[in-house]
Structure 1
Amino acid sequence: MLWNRLKQFTSEHDGHFMVFGDMNVSRDESERFGPAFKRDEDITFNEFIMDAGLDDVCLGGRRFTWMNKAATKMSRIDRMMISANVSNDFEGLSLVALNRGCSDHTPLFFHNAKTNYGPLPFKFFNSWLKTQAFDAMIRDTVIECSNEVNDSFHAKLKFIKSKIKNWRILMLELKIDDQAVCHDEPVNRRNRWQELDKLQELEDLDSMQKARIKWDVEGDEN
């Protein structure tokens, strides 16, 4: 009934259409992991997309957009669909999945061609100092930097920055999306979720630091 109502609306109105959100249905079996796949649902959904003249924007960054806490069920049910005239009028539209954090859904970032504003400034958050591995990683990176990078101080800082970026990647989410988590390790999964909770606490500290910086720069707008 929902797909028919949306299809009727697009056929009776002339305009640019964007349909997005949690559709609670996938398009094919490759977009699900864990639960039994219902073939009739994906056929109906794909017919709606075709009849309504919509384009399903490709997703980058992640394979799935939802998972349960045990990581036994995953699927791509969040998506963005646009009409052909939207694709023609706005070039370079893309959909990128961001870090999931502690939510069961992955936030999606819909944008057009990225504008290059030059190199981004390097930010250092105090929360990094609260992790045991950070200090050791920096020490090892400095030693490696001294052996492999030329004497340019700028080149060394750039090398260290790249190492920090790699260190910050949440390997857990990438491992889950690649279906590399073993289902016979419930204890390990609970431990990983506890680690995510700790990471969320560190992100909260980062947000507090950003807020203080913004206050110092912009002041109290009231």
Structure 2
Amino acid sequence: MNYSNVDWVIGGDFNEVRNQDERKNYVFIERRANMFSNFIDSRHLIEIPLLGKRFTRISDDGSKFSKLDRFLVSESFLNSWGDISVTSLDRRTSDHCPIILKDMNKDFGPKPFKIFDLWLECIDVELVIVDAWNKEIKGSRCDCVFRNKMKNVKEALREWSKHRYSNLDVELDTWKKTVENLEIKAEQNTLTDTVREEWLNARVKWLSKEKEKEKAEMLRQKARLNCIAEGDDNTSSFHSTIRRKNNSSNIRGLNLNGKWEEKPTVIKEEVHKYFSHIFENKQTTIPDFESLNSLHFNTLDPTDVLMLEAPNHESELWNAIKDCEPSKAGLDRMASI
């Protein structure tokens, strides 16, 4: 793995776990788990989350459970593919559940309305938003008018962004393809000094374009990395972080009544039911004034009330304490104050 620049996918039964939660009714050996985790980290591998089930190996008597089967991939593999996931299948004759690595491209409908912070620094973006918002909308219902206004703003920003940053992406792809083509030629034949210089210049321009402020800032926001160490500003780490967050946060499917469902329509319906149940209006009894008057609350004694409402004589009391001798006359004077 250290001496080959290829994408790696390692999958199967590793016969080891990474933490105590991956075993049930087993003796957990922390030293072995640390060795396994250190191997994964040292090789810069990424584990794809398991969906559907928590464990992949069940003992014959059904008393012991472990997660022994998994897929580990390199960062380059994660960047090359889309939304990949690992799903466990039904266990039949074996004591292990088969697992499958697959590319999932689910369409959950329109994406949420997002905006890059970098856009707000542009002078013309405010005019784009104002013009889109002021477009005439036909309709009487306020919610429909607001929805259509937001649609207009979203469409206007999409077109503005495409026109504003399309040249940047085109130039980036052009230099990248030039570098890749020259690298392929270098593997087959010895390059001349002129071609080698062209290759190095193309690579410098490609990397400089990727590190430009606009591109880098958008990648930072996508990856949600606010603090980047000086000298560690490379887009591969941003893309890897974005892929990891997508793989960990996206809903691939739901386990409904023991059946794994991956259809977007079913997932959206179940999520809607779940939150509707949480936020549904519950019947509550609002107390009236008569019931409040019948309640008895603890109150202060009238003497305590007078003491709290009396003027502040703290300074006068302190002067009396300093002047008084520990005698009956002094105590009487303090009591009078």
TM-score range, shorter chain: 0.3 to 0.5
Instruction: Tell me the TM-score normalised to structure 2 length.
Output: 0.32
Query: Which of the two has higher C-alpha Rg?
Result: 2
Higher relative contact order (CA 8 A, sep 6+): 1
